[in-house]
Structure 1
Amino acid sequence: MTTDVASGPENPEKPPANIDKLNANIARIEELTQRLVQALSHKGTPNPEVEAPGPEFFAKAAAAYWAEMLDNPGKLIEQQVSYWGKALRHYVEAQHALAQGRLEPPADRSPKDRRFANPLWDTHPYFNFLKQQYLFNVEALESAVAELQDVTPLERRRIEFFTRQIIDMMAPTNFLATNPDALERALETEGESLVRGLENLVRDIELHRGELLVTLADRDAFTVGENIGTTEGSVVFRNRMMELIQYEPTTEKVRERPLLIFPPWINKFYILDLKPANSLIKWVVDQGYTLFVVSWKNPDASYADVGMDDYVEEGYLAAIREVKAITGQDRINAVGYCIAGTTLALTLALMRKRGDRSVGSATFFTTLTDFADPGEIGVFLNDDFVDGIEREVAKKGYLDKFFMGRTFSFLRSNDLIYGPAIKSYMMGERPPAFDLLYWNGDGTNLPARMAMEYLRSLCQANRFATGNFEICGESVSIHDVHVPVCAIACETDHIAPWRASYAGVREFGAKDKTFILAESGHIAGIVNPPAKDKYGYYTNAGAMEGDEDAWKAAAEHRRGSWWPAWAAWLEKRSGKLVPARVPGDAAHPALSPAPGTYVVETPGA
C-alpha cells in the first residue's frame, strides 16, 4: 500500500497538486490575451459623438453648478461640509475600531442596495468602508445636481441621467479588487472563474467586431423556428421591405375580419411568439382570428435611401392590400407595436386623406405619437447625439443595431450592462438561457434615411403632433386618426412613457377610444399571458378628456392579463364567425413556413 506524499518543505521536489491546473490556466490566459488583442484590432474608428454627450453639455452643467455656487456660496459650503463631515467621521470610526483590535466595521446607516447583497459588504471592515464611502459620494453628487438652478427641464433631465451613468459605472462592485463575490468565486475555483470570464469577454468583443456589448442570454440555447417563434404558419407574400406571415387556424370558426400585426422593426417580430406559453400570436389564433404578422427585412447599406414613405407604401399599405385580397374582406383590424404603432398612426392619417377605409379599428401597443415628452430616451435626442448619428449613417448607409442595443441598455445600465458584465466577466458565469434576453440581443439595423426622418421629424420636431408631418405626398396630423382605437401603455415603460402615450391618443380624432394601462414595462407589460396571472391593468370607461393622472386616479385596477379585455374589445369590431381560413390562396402560395427567412438574416455576417 502506498500513500501520496503532499508537496511542501519536507518534500520540495514534488510539485503542488494543482500546478498542472495553474499552468493550464496560464496558457489559456496567454491564448485569450492574443485573441483579445486581435479582436480589439477590428474595432472601427470611434465616433465620439455617439459615445457620450458633447463637451458643450458638460461645460453647461459645470457652468450651471458654479453659477449657483457663486450666487449662493453658503450652499456650496453646506454641501461640502456635510459630505466631508460624513466621510471623515466614517474614516475616524473605522480607524477607532481597528485601533481597539476590533475587526469589524463602524455603524452602517447606509440605505439598502441590492448590488451590495453579499454579507461582507456589511461585516468586513474593508468592503464596508468602500461601500459607505461610495454611497456618500453618490449622495453628494445627487444633492449637487438636484439643487442646480437656471437649467431647463430637459437639461436637468440630461444632467441627472448622465450623472447617474457615472455613479453606476464607478460602483465598487464593478471592479475585481473591490467585489467580494468575484474574489470569493476566484478563490473557490482556483482562478478558473477569471479565466472563464476572460473567455466571455473575448467572445463578446469578437462577436461585435471589436466593440464591447455584454451578451445577455445563451446564444446556443435558442433557434428561431425551432424552440422560439414556432407558431405554425406560412409566408404568403414577400417584397423588399417585409414578409407577410399568415398563421394556421386552431379553431373551426374564425372572426370574419382578419387581424394584421405590425411589430417594430427595431427588433424582430418573435417577441410576440417566444414560447407557446407566452406567445401572443398563438393566443390570438386560439381565440379564433385569422392572424397575419409582418416580419421586417433587416436592412444593409443597400437600403440607405429607404425612408418612412417606403415603410408605409411597401410595408403597411402593401400588407393591408394583400390581407384583404387573401381573405376577401374589404376591411381589416390592425395592430402596431412601439415605432410600428407610431407609423400605423401615420398610415391611418394618410389613408383618411386618401379616402381609404380599409382599416376598421387600430390597436396600439406602447406607442408614442406625441413626442413633446419622450421620457428617458429624450436624453439621447439632442443635437449632440443626433448630429453624430447622422454622420454615422451617412458613412455606413444604416444605423447599426449595436448603437440601438447599447442606447437602450444604458436606460437600465445596472440591469443590462453592469450586472450582466459582473456575472459574465468577473464571476465567469455562462449567460442564462432566457428567451426574452435572447430576443433583446437579436436586433436589427435601421436604414439611414428612415432613421434620420424618425429622429428629426418625429422625435425632435414632433411634426405629427403639430400637424405637418409629410408622408407619401400628404401632410398629416395626429388629429387625422379617426378609426376606433384601443391603446395599451405600460406603467413602468422607460421607452414609451405611458403618460406621453396617453397624451398622443387623447389627441386622435377618433370618437371611439379605449386606453388600457398595463402594469410592468415595455416588454413584460405586453407579453403578459393570462395563464401567468402576473401583472394587472387599469381601465377607465370615461372619456379621454382630462390629463393622464386624473384618468388613472379614476381608473379601476383589475388583476391578471389585459389580453382578454382587449379580445372582448376586438371581438365587437371583428364581425361574425366564418369557416377557418388556411394560409394563402391560389395567388398567394406558401413561400416558406413561419417564421420565414427575413427574421433569421444577419446582414454583413
Structure 2
Amino acid sequence: MVKNTCNPQTAMDQLDQRFQASIAKSTLSMSPLQGLLSYIDWSRHLAISPGKQLELFNLGVAQSLALAQYAQRTQTVGIPGTPSYHSNLNIEPPITDRRFSDERWKIWPFNILQLSYLMTEEWWKEATTDIRGATPHHLDLVRMAGQQFLNALSPKNFVPSNPEVLQKTLEEKGANLLRGSMNAWQLFMQQYTGTPDPKLENFKVGQHLATTPGKVVLRNQLMELIQYTPTTEKVHPEPILITPAWIMKYYILDLSPHNSMIRHLLDQGYTVFCISWKNPGVEERNMGMDDYLSMGFFAALDAINQITGQHKVHATGYCLGGTLLSIAAAAMGRDQDDRLLSITMLAAQTDFSEPGELSLFIDNSQLAILEAEMADIGYLTGEQMAGAFLMLRSDLLIWSRYIKELLLGEESTMNDLMAWNTDTTRMPAKMHSQYLRRLFLNDDLAEGKYPVNGRPVSLTDIHLPVFCLGTETDHIAPWHSVYKIHPLCCTDMTFVLTNKGHNAGVVSEPGHKNRYYRVLARAKDEPYLGPDEWYETAQHHEGSWWNCWFSWLKERSGKPVSPPPMGNPEKGYPLLCDAPGVYVFEK
C-alpha cells in the first residue's frame, strides 16, 4: 500500500482557495454568493411583509399624484433652441437635488423627467429600508446595487433627456458629439495600451508634486523616512512625525507648493518627518499589521529620537495611518513609553462599528473571496481598491465624466489632487486581511481586543492631548464614526469638523475659498457630548482648519531653537537620497 503523505486538510483548503480565486477574477473581486444571499434575504422578507408592501404602494400612488399635479402646474411647451420655447422657472419641484441644479431642468418636459427619476430613487430607498427580519447589511447591498442601475438610467446620461446636452447639440449641430466620440476613442486607447493620461505630464512627482526639499534618512523593506529641510532659522524643539495611510501615496500631504501641508508646517517652524510607504509586491505578501507598526511607526520614531536628540514628538496620522498611530499610542501608554507629546488624527477611525460606505464590501463572504484572490498574487491591487471607490461614487466619478467628455465633448481637466488619486498603491495580502478582519469586521480596537506584541491594547491608556479632524461629506471615514474616539479616550480632546470630503477636506490650505470648520475642545474630566449635541455647541469659523491646528500645536511646543542636523550617519541614519525618495515612484 502506498502511504499518502499529503495533508488532506491543507490540500482541500488549497483547492477551495484556488477555486474561489478563479471566481473572483470573473466577478471583479466581488462575492456572487453574498449578492445572491442579499437579494434573497430582501425579496423573501419583503414578500412576507404586507404592511411594507402597502406602504410602498401608497408611496408610489402619492408620488404619481404629486408628479401629475406638478406637471399640471408647469404646463410649458417647447425645447431649448426652438421658436416655441418658453418656460416657467418659478415653480420648484417637490423634490430637489444638486445633480439637477441647472435652471434648464425646470423647463418642460425636463422638469417631469428629473422629478420622475428622483421619485424613483426615493421609492427604491424606501423599498430597501426597514424590512422586518432582513439583515441591514443585505439591505444596504441591495440598495447599492439598485442605485448603480438607477445611476446608469439617469435622464442626465442621454442626449434627448438632458437639456444642457440637447441645447449644445442643437447649437453646434452635433459637433460636441463628434468631439465626444474622439474623446471616447482616446480613453479606450489609453485603457487598451495602458498609457497614462497626457494631462498627467503637468503633475509629475518630484517636479510638480512632492517638491518640498528634504532627505531620505531611513529605508527598510516597508518604508522610507523623509526628513524635510527647515525653512526657518529657528524651529520648535519637538519634531512632527506624519504617518499617512498605506492605501495611498504619502504626497497627498505634499501636493503643490501652495497646498502642501508639510511645507506649511515647515513655515510654522517645525522639524517635519514623514513616512513614505513602499508599494508592496509579492515579496511583502506576508507583511502584517505588526510589521507596519515595528518597521513603520516605531522605526521612524526611533530614527527621529536619534537624529534630533529630542525625546518628545508630535505624532500625526491620516486615514488608516491615524488608526495605526492610535494603536501605537495605546501600546506606548500600556508600556509606559512617553516619547509622544501629542496626537493628531486626520479623518481617522478608531471605532469601526459604523465605518461608512466601505462596509458594503466587508463581510465574511466578501473577505473570503478577496483573501483567496490575494493568496494567488500576494497583494491587493490598486485597481481593485479604485474599483470599490468608483462603485461608491459612480454618479460623480463615472457618469459626470461621461456627460462632460462624451456628450458635451469637453476636455477633461486635471488638478493636483486628481493626479494624486490616479497614483494607486497595492497592499500586502496578510496586512490587508488582518486590518479588514480585526478592525472593520470585528472592531477589535474599540473593544480592547487588538493585540500588539501578543497583548491587547486599549485606547483608554492614551493620556496625551488629542486633536481629531472629521470632514462633513466623508464617505470613507464618516465624521460621526471618527467622533467615536471621544468615549474611547480619557484625555483632553479637541475635535474639529471641516467641510468637504475625505481628501479635499484635509487638503484645505489657508486662503482656500469657501472653507469653514467647527471646533470644540473637551477636557478629560468634562462630560461626554453626543455628535449632534457637539455640532450644535461647537463654534463655527470661516477659513482653513489648518490655522486652528497650527495654534493648537504651538501651545504644546517649546520655544524655538536651532534646527537639528539632517540625518545622523554616526547613529546609522545617513542621507540616502533627496526627497521624495524612491518608494513613491514604484508602480
TM-score for the superposition, normalised by structure 2: 0.84
Other-structure match for 1:486: 467
Superposed displacement of residue 366, structure 1: 0.9
Other-structure match for 2:566: 583
Change (3 A) 1:45 1:465: closer
Q: Which 5+ residue runs of structure 1 have no aligned equivalent?
A: 1-43, 210-214
Other-structure match for 1:467: 448
Other-structure match for 2:30: 50
Change (3 A) 1:134 1:488: closer
Change (3 A) 1:97 1:307: same
Change (3 A) 1:260 1:431: same
**8 Å Cα contact 1:537/1:558 also seen in 2:** yes
Change (3 A) 1:575 1:139: closer
Q: How far apart, in 2, do the equivalents of 1:503 and 1:92 lie? A: 49
Q: How far apart, in 2, do the equivalents of 1:287 and 1:365 lie? A: 19
**8 Å Cα contact 1:54/1:384 also seen in 2:** no
**8 Å Cα contact 2:177/2:409 also seen in 1:** no
Change (3 A) 1:175 1:205: farther
Q: Which moved more, 1:410-419 or 1:146-155?
A: 146-155
Q: State the SS of the aligned residue for 2:199.
A: coil
Other-structure match for 1:535: 515
Other-structure match for 1:354: 335
Q: In the alignment, is residue 287 of structure 1 matched against residue 268 of structure 2?
A: yes
Change (3 A) 1:147 1:259: closer
Within 5 A, what are the aligned runs for 1:197-216? 197-206=183-192
Q: In the alignment, is residue 573 of structure 1 matched against residue 556 of structure 2?
A: yes
Q: State the SS of the aligned residue for 1:234.
A: strand
Q: How far apart, in 2, do the equivalents of 1:517 and 1:498 lie? A: 8
**8 Å Cα contact 2:390/2:397 also seen in 1:** yes
Amino acid at match of 1:268: K
> Which residue of the other structure, out of 253, 256, 262, is the alignment partner of 1:272?
253
Q: State the SS of the aligned residue for 1:574.
A: coil
Q: Which moved more, 1:485-494 or 1:264-273?
A: 485-494
Deviation per residue, 1:541-591 (Å, 9 max, x gap): 333623222223222222222222222222233323211234223343322
Q: State the SS of the aligned residue for 2:273.
A: strand
Q: How far apart, in 1, do the equivalents of 2:330 and 2:346 lie? A: 18
Q: State the SS of the aligned residue for 2:581.
A: coil
Superposed displacement of residue 493, structure 1: 1.8
Other-structure match for 1:525: 505
**8 Å Cα contact 1:254/1:579 also seen in 2:** yes
Q: Which 5+ residue runs of structure 2 have no aligned equivalent?
A: 1-23
Q: In the alignment, is residue 601 of structure 1 matched against residue 586 of structure 2?
A: yes
Q: Which moved more, 1:70-79 or 1:240-249?
A: 70-79
Other-structure match for 1:393: 374
Q: How far apart, in 2, do the equivalents of 1:193 and 1:140 lie? A: 37
Superposed displacement of residue 348, structure 1: 1.6
Q: How far apart, in 2, do the equivalents of 1:445 and 1:124 lie? A: 49
Change (3 A) 1:132 1:124: same
Q: How far apart, in 2, do the equivalents of 1:96 and 1:593 lie? A: 66
Change (3 A) 1:152 1:425: same
Q: How far apart, in 2, do the equivalents of 1:169 and 1:599 lie? A: 36
Q: In the alignment, is residue 247 of structure 1 matched against residue 232 of structure 2?
A: no
Q: How far apart, in 1, do the equivalents of 2:429 and 2:418 lie? A: 26
Q: State the SS of the aligned residue for 1:405.
A: helix
Superposed displacement of residue 154, structure 1: 4.2
Other-structure match for 2:299: 318
Which has more radius of gyration? Answer: 1
Amino acid at match of 1:536: Y
Superposed displacement of residue 333, structure 1: 1.6
Amino acid at match of 2:569: A
Within 5 A, what are the aligned runs for 1:131-210? 131-146=114-129, 148-175=131-158, 178-179=161-162, 181-182=164-165, 184-185=168-169, 187-189=173-175, 191-206=177-192
Amino acid at match of 1:201: L
**8 Å Cα contact 1:336/1:363 also seen in 2:** yes
Q: How many residues align?
A: 549
Amino acid at match of 2:498: A
Deviation per residue, 1:82-129 (Å, 9 max, x gap): 45667788999999989xx9888999946444444666655464x566
Other-structure match for 2:3: none
Q: How far apart, in 1, do the equivalents of 2:28 and 2:432 lie? A: 19
**8 Å Cα contact 2:281/2:378 also seen in 1:** yes
Within 5 A, what are the aligned runs for 1:332-411? 332-411=313-392
Q: State the SS of the aligned residue for 1:356.
A: coil
Q: In the alignment, is residue 561 of structure 1 matched against residue 544 of structure 2?
A: yes
**8 Å Cα contact 2:279/2:425 also seen in 1:** yes
Superposed displacement of residue 155, structure 1: 4.4
**8 Å Cα contact 2:343/2:465 also seen in 1:** yes
**8 Å Cα contact 1:217/1:438 also seen in 2:** no
Other-structure match for 2:411: 430
Aligned-pair identity in percent equals 35
**8 Å Cα contact 1:118/1:180 also seen in 2:** no
Superposed displacement of residue 345, structure 1: 1.0
